[in-house]
């Protein structure tokens, strides 16, 4: 079980992990050992994540989400499978935690009378400056 918070947990059967060879520097170790982890998770199959959070999760996942609705996280920062596996799981948990946060609704407000007056005064001053620049200089 992957615990996200006090109310959301993800069953290990919903998470698929494949170990692949990592790219980049690392000498012979990188060519012989499959230390990178490719974690796959389908949020639509998880019943503990609320519907609205699933929609936000799809937005947050962006390019990490496939057309089939599967989130793919690749972790290859470390040299061992265990640390890469833990890193991938933590990144998934982080993504889900961010999706669970309900965004605050914006409360529509009107500008105050004083702010309207300040705006109009500033526009008038700017207009005066431009008007003064238009006048032609006198030739002597």
User: What pLDDT score was predicted for residue 70?
Assistant: 83
Q: Which residue range is the domain that position 38 belongs to?
A: 2-100
What residues contact residue 31 under an 8 Å CB cut-off, 6+ apart? 21
Q: Is the pLDDT of residue 44 over 90?
A: no
Q: Which residues pair with 72 in a beta bridge?
A: 40
Per the structure, how many domains does the chain have? 1
CA dihedral over 48, 53, 57, 60, signed as positive or negative = negative
What would the pLDDT profile of 45-90 be if each residue is shown by its tens digit?
777 777 888 888 888 877 878 888 788 888 877 777 788 888 888 8
Q: Identify whether 50 is part of a domain.
A: yes
CATH of the domain at 76: 3.30.160.20
Mean pLDDT of the chain: 81
Q: What percent of the chain has pLDDT over 70?
A: 86
CA dihedral over 60, 66, 69, 74, signed as positive or negative = negative
pTM: 0.63
Q: Identify whether 127 is part of a domain.
A: no
Q: Identify whether 123 is part of a domain.
A: no
**Between the ranges 4-8, 61-65, 113-117, where is the mean pLDDT highest?**
113-117
Q: Identify whether 63 is part of a domain.
A: yes
User: What pLDDT score was predicted for residue 111?
Assistant: 93
User: What pLDDT score was predicted for residue 100?
Assistant: 83
Q: Identify whether 138 is part of a domain.
A: no
Q: Identify whether 132 is part of a domain.
A: no
- Distance (Å, rounded) from C-alpha 126 to C-alpha 29? 68
Q: Which residues pair with 20 in a beta bridge?
A: 36
Q: Is the pLDDT of residue 10 over 90?
A: no
Q: Identify whether 57 is part of a domain.
A: yes
**Cβ pair 3, 95 in contact under 8 A:** no
Q: Which residues pair with 110 in a beta bridge?
A: none
User: What pLDDT score was predicted for residue 24?
Assistant: 60
Q: Identify whether 60 is part of a domain.
A: yes
């Amino acid at each position: 079980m992957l615990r996200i918070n006090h109310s959301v947990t993800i069953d290990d059967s919903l998470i698929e992990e494949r170990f692949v060879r990592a790219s980049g520097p690392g000498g012979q170790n990188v060519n012989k050992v499959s230390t990178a982890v490719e974690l796959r998770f389908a949020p639509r199959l998880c019943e503990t994540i609320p519907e609205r959070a699933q929609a936000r999760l799809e937005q947050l996942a962006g390019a990490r989400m496939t057309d089939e609705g599967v989130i793919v996280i690749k972790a290859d920062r470390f040299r061992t499978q265990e640390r890469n596996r833990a890193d991938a799981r933590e990144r998934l948990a982080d993504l889900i935690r961010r999706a669970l946060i309900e965004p605050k609704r914006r409360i529509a407000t009107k500008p105050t009378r004083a702010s309207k007056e300040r705006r109009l005064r500033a526009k008038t001053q700017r207009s005066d400056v431009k008007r003064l620049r238009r006048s032609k200089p006198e030739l002597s």
